[in-house]
Each structure stands twice: as C-alpha cells, then as structure tokens.
Structure 1
Amino acid sequence: MMIATSPSQKTMQCLFLLSLLMAVAVPSRAKVPAVIVFGDSSVDSGNNNLIQTILKSNFEPYGRDFEGGHPTGRFSNGRIPPDFISEALGLKPTVPAYLDPRSTIKDFATGVCFASAGTGYDNATSDVLNVIPLWKQLENYKVYQKMLRRYLGVKKAKEIVREALYLMSIGTNDFLENYYIFPGRSSEYTVEQYEDFLVGIAENFIQRLYELGGRKISLGGLPPMGCLPLERSKNIMSGSGCIDEYNQVAMDFNGKLQGLVVRLKKEMPEIKLVFSDSYSILLDVIHQPSSFGFESAAVACCATGFFEMGYLCGGTAPSHVRMEQIRFWDSFHPSQRTNQIISDHLMKTALAEFLV
C-alpha cells in the first residue's frame, strides 16, 4: 500500500537527498584553524614597525593598494603570500603582525605573523640591520601559545596549535644581505658549507616547532634571487641580466631543503611537512611576463619605475603606472599581483593537501 505524502513532505525529502549528494560531491576542507608565519620580509606583515631598525615599510607608497590605501609594514603595494593563503584556506584575508598593538589574541587565534624583514636563518644576518632573529620568533611563538591557552583553554588551544598551518619563508637575506656582502661568513665557509650550515638551522627549528605541537609545516625555498631587480641592476656590465651564480645557489639550497623534508617526514611520522617552491613560478613570471599579463619583468615600480639601487621605495610610485602590470614593487619584493600568482601556485601544488 502506497502512503501519500504532502507537497511539504516531498520538499523535505528532496532537500534531504540533495544535502546527501552535496556531502558526497564536495570534498571536505581540511581543518586548518589558523595560519602561523615565520620568516623575513617576504612574509612580514608589520613586525618591523615596532622595533628599532631602519628596515621598515611603514610609509607611502607602500600599501597603496592595501585595503584603505595605507602602509601596514608589508613590503608590497598590497597583500603578501600569507594573506592570500589564509584567505584560500577559508580564514581571514590578512594575517596580523604579532607586535601590532591594535591586534589582540582574539585576532591571533586564527592567524599570526612572527616574521621580521631582513632576518635569516643565521643570527649574524639578523644582526646586520638589527631585526628579529629566527630564534626570537620562536620565543614569541611560545608566548603566543600561553596567550592562546588563557584565551581558549588548554584543550582548544592545543587543537589549534596542532592543526594550524605553519608557513616558513626565509633564507634570501642570508646570502644577499650577509654572505655575499660581508667577509665574516664567506671567510668561514664555502657557499656549499654555508648552505649546509643554514639547512642545519632549518632542521633544528622544525624539530623545535614539532616539539611545541606543530604538525602542518610548509618550508619555503629561495626565489631566483639573482633575478631580483637590485641584483640585476648590479649586473649592468652583463646587460642587467640575472646573476646566474646566485640563482644556482638558490637551486642548490632548495634541493637541500627538499632532501631535509624527505628525511624529517621519515623521522617524524606525525608531521605533515611540505616544501613550497616559489622559484619556478617567479622565474616564469620574470622570463615570460606576457603569459601572466605583465610587461617588462625587470622593472620595479617605486620610486622611479626603473631599476632601483636601494632596498626600499624612495618616493611615490608613478601615478601613471598600472599596478596590475607590475611584477616587482621595489628592488627586492614582488607586487601584490605577483604575490597572488605565487600563492595560487603554492595552493595548487605544495599546499594542496591542506585543502582536501
């Protein structure tokens, strides 16, 4: 005997079936409750604003394309990779700096940045411009954990620490700001030995982060540092092309970091450690700019729109320059659009496993 159903019952049944189908068809998002960042200017969202160093970006024209059009301490005209990655993970569109007095533990609970522009793996690198060394970033992270426990309770805080995605982007300054400029490290180590020295520091940092509860960690590699506008401007006798030696060092160092990732995944069975390679995608942007809708890849926008000999912007960005056409914002740092391209690439490659 058939049982009659009312229109409302049929509607409810259809909605129930639809919800089941959607649950099967749509993959569940990984549980990434927070993005926690360590590193240098490639990921610093403003910590250098609050320390005694000349290396700051809290002045115009930095931030001209950030929401509100004001400088934040990010070394870009807008957002940087952690911001885009946080948003891609379904979290907030910007990751606040740990030292930002306007932010509280409520803001930090879903993401916080400990990075400091100008720093490196090597303590000697952070001493050059008096910025926050990597070991101090980890000490700040320990304080953050205590704050998190007081705010959310031990159980919830432990869950966030365990499930958060940890982004590391560091190392360029060790070579370009330290090894190749000052005689200290270059007199102690060959470049290959210095690479090994830095890899050892990276290993120790990841082990300590693991001991503190971190499990999902992205170890970022070096960019094609010989192609940064500042380095190309130094290579004027060779037509201002990329410095091949520096790019080769970056590739060699990245290979060693990849080897470290493979080994640590065997030694730490609970770790979800990935190597995030920005080298290839940034090199594509530099050598094939038209493929990404860009113009000349050698140009840094501020201040003159041509090669910049200084590390930072020295004036206002030209008003006629379209920001979506700019690959590099200053002599070292990609524009917001390039940052987004790099972040999208990482989300589709190394970080993809945190989306499924």
Structure 2
Amino acid sequence: MERRRALQHSFSYFCLSSSSILYWCIFFLVLLFTSATNALVKLPENTTIPAIIVFGDSIVDAGNNDDMITEARCDYPPYGIDFDGGVPTGRFSNGKVPTDMLAEELGIKPYIPAYRDPNLKPEDLLTGVTFASGGAGYVPLTTQIAGGIPLSQQLKYFEEYLERLNGLVGDERTKFIIKNSLFVIICGSNDIANDFFTFPTVWHQYDVASFTALMADNARSIAMKLYGYGARRILMFGAPPIGCVPSQRTVAGGPTRDCVVRFNDASKLFNAKLSANIDGLSRTLLDTTLIYIDIYNPLLDLILNPHKYGFKVANLGCCGTGLIEVTALCNNYTAAVCPVRSDYVFWDSFHPTETAYKIIVAKLLDRYLNRFL
C-alpha cells in the first residue's frame, strides 16, 4: 500500500510538471487511483461510475468545517480514532462516514475527501469530493445557527470544482464525469432537531406540515440545480428517526429517555413530502435517475433491534456518558470513550458509529443498487 501511494505521489508530480502529456497522465492516474481498493460490489461491465459527489450535513462532512469558527466541527480526538492512522479528519464519526463506504464498495477509492481540505490533490477531483458541512440544513436559518456552510455556498463550491475539473481534463471529459457520477445529498436532521423544535418562536407561523413542506421544496430545488449542472444520477436521502438519537432522547425524551415521537413524526412527514417531490421530478426529467433513499427505517431497525446486529447499546453514544456529548463535548479531556466501539449504534450522541454505518450502507446497496446503475 505504501509503495502504491509513493507511486501515485511521484506520478502526480510528473503529470503536473509536464503539461504536454497531461492527457495520458490523467488516464494512468485514473487507473492507479481507481485500483487502489478492491470493489466489494461487482458492477456490470457497461456501467461507469467515475466519481461520487456529495452535498449535505455532518453525516457526510469530511472536514469542510475544520478551519471555521463554529461548534459544528470535530477535527480533534477522539473523533477519527478508527480512521486510517487514528487521525481526526473532521468526520463526525470514529471512522469512515457513509459516502466513504459507498466509494469503497463501488471500487472508486477508499474515501471521499473534503473539497476544502488544504491537502486535496488535483487527481482527487476526478473521483469525487464532498462539499457537505456539519450543521447544514435545507432551511438557510438552520445552517446560520450552526455556523456551517449553507447548501447555496456548497453549490458555489461545486461551480468552482467544475472549473478546476475542466482545467484538468477539458470540457468533454468533465461533462462525462458529471453525467455518470453519483450525486449524494444527505440533509434535514438539523432543520428538525436544531431549528424547528429548538426555536419554536422563530417558526410560530409554521406548523410541522408547512415547515417540512418548506424543507422538501428546498430539497427539490437542489435536485433541479444539480440537474441543470448536468447531473443525471442523483440520490436524495430522507431524514433519520431523529427522535431516537441519544441527544434528543436526553433533551426531550423525559425521565426515561424515550424516543421523541413528535421529532420522529416530523422526519416521517418530511420524508413523505421529499419522496413525492422526487417521484414527481423523476417523471418530469425523463433522462435522469433521481431516487429517494429511505434511511429512516434501516437506522430505526438498528436502534430497536440492536442485538440482531451484534450491538449492545442503542440509546447512548460511545463518547463520554453518551447522553449529550457531541462535537466540543466529545473530546479527550472531558469525555472517556467506550473501549469497544462496535458495541454501540451511536458514536457520539448524534452520529452513528462506523460499524452502524457499514450495516446501513450494505442494506441500502442491497435495496437500491440496481436502480442507479
């Protein structure tokens, strides 16, 4: 593996210093980097997924918030304790996040880097990046509250990415990559848990139905914009059972820390509206694969039936007491870490463990893979 990395680094330098043969360099770079991991999912011979491009919130952030003044960042231990080398990268997990696993399963590359990573290499653009930001939401106020990168700015970064990609491989190849890549959008949890139910006076003119309709309409708008950029494989993830994550049980689940029904009901209502919006768009945009992805039920099954999947704890996070620790409260100075992370569904009080993500990704691939090939 180290020899391969050294070869990749040397070849990258040669390419960047020899513009006259850039075309062939790009060709061989693609071969090198896409062969760096063994695909666990066998794709049909005529199927090409050159890259995975990601938008959304902390579930799929890989460090875009690391240089920002915000509580929605985690570029410090014990985050990343099970990542390559045990290094915190800004992923809100003990290890990889779902889109890393998706890229690895499809044989694209071991993980999806953050677009704003200062160490991002030009060749990383060929196989995909994440623009996602911890704290982001479909409603602009949600991201403003958290101090993250709003979806509107994530799209502007994507426009910048297109210019950089075009400079690397030209217009025709750029269009091919965008048309055939997987676009993943995961968002919505922060809108429900950290905005609507946290600041009810701000949304006094909205009820749950109208607020979730606003979320779903904004999500539809994001999908339309990506279509306008040339995206033709778009996966829109629904909201999870946010009322069952440890932090929400602690703050709103009463003395027994039950799942918060009104939070889960809001997630289900949003998911129904988002699914309807996406189905409608699919019928309109006939040359695209636009799929609503249900994340609610796979995660809820892990929470309600942890032992079926080998977990011992589903109502507490691994970090600290497991009741409330997330981001700044989950650190090496104030919070102990459970010794066996794979015993827990949740890493901190808001985000699942790498083990839980692996199970969920496997479930989703089994259900949806044939639909987006």
Question: What is the TM-score with the length of structure 2 in the denominator?
Answer: 0.85
Residue 289 of structure 2 corresponds to residue 272 of structure 1: yes
CA positional deviation for 1:326:
1.6
Query: CA 1:244–1:26 in 2, change beyond 3 Å: closer, same or farther?
Result: closer
Query: CA 1:214–1:309 in 2, change beyond 3 Å: closer, same or farther?
Result: same
Identity among equivalent pairs (%): 36
Matches within 5 A, 1:317-336: 318=336, 321-336=339-354
Matches within 5 A, 1:256-271: 256-271=273-288
Query: CA 1:319–1:225 in 2, change beyond 3 Å: closer, same or farther?
Result: closer
The aligned counterpart of 2:331 is 315
- Look up the SS of the partner of 1:36 in the other structure: strand
How far apart in 2 are the matches of 1:55 and 1:167?
A: 21
- Look up the SS of the partner of 1:54 in the other structure: coil
Residue 153 of structure 2 corresponds to residue 136 of structure 1: yes
Query: CA 1:153–1:349 in 2, change beyond 3 Å: closer, same or farther?
Result: same
* Largest Rg, 1 or 2: 1
Query: CA 1:159–1:87 in 2, change beyond 3 Å: closer, same or farther?
Result: same
Q: Check whether the contact 1:145–1:157 (CA below 8 A) recurs between aligned residues.
A: yes
Matches within 5 A, 1:21-32: 27-28=44-45, 30-32=47-49
How far apart in 1 are the matches of 2:253 and 2:372?
A: 43
Matches within 5 A, 1:114-129: 114-129=131-146
Q: Check whether the contact 1:233–1:309 (CA below 8 A) recurs between aligned residues.
A: no
Q: Check whether the contact 2:181–2:231 (CA below 8 A) recurs between aligned residues.
A: yes
Which of 78, 91, 101 pairs up with 1:74?
A: 91
Instruction: State the aligned residue count.
Output: 330
Residue 248 of structure 2 corresponds to residue 224 of structure 1: no
The aligned counterpart of 1:151 is 168
CA positional deviation for 1:184:
5.0
The aligned counterpart of 2:359 is 341
Listed one character per residue, the Cα deviations across residues 66-92 of structure 1 (whole Å, up to 9, x for unaligned) are: 010010000000000000011111110
- Look up the SS of the partner of 1:217 in the other structure: strand
How far apart in 2 are the matches of 1:200 and 1:236?
A: 29
Query: CA 1:147–1:161 in 2, change beyond 3 Å: closer, same or farther?
Result: same
Q: Which has the higher contact order (CA 8 A, sep 6+)?
A: 1
- Look up the SS of the partner of 2:275 in the other structure: helix
Q: Check whether the contact 1:223–1:278 (CA below 8 A) recurs between aligned residues.
A: yes
Matches within 5 A, 1:1-356: 27-28=44-45, 30-183=47-200, 185-235=202-252, 237-304=254-321, 306-308=322-324, 310=326, 312-316=328-332, 318=336, 321-355=339-373
Amino acid across the alignment from 2:167: R
Q: Check whether the contact 1:311–1:331 (CA below 8 A) recurs between aligned residues.
A: no
CA positional deviation for 1:308:
2.2
Query: CA 1:26–1:179 in 2, change beyond 3 Å: closer, same or farther?
Result: closer
Which portions of structure 1, spanning 4 or more consecutive aligned residues, are displaced by more than 6 angstroms?
none
Listed one character per residue, the Cα deviations across residues 268-319 of structure 1 (whole Å, up to 9, x for unaligned) are: 1111011111111111110100000000211201123x32255554333646
CA positional deviation for 1:154:
0.8
Question: What is the TM-score with the length of structure 1 in the denominator?
Answer: 0.89
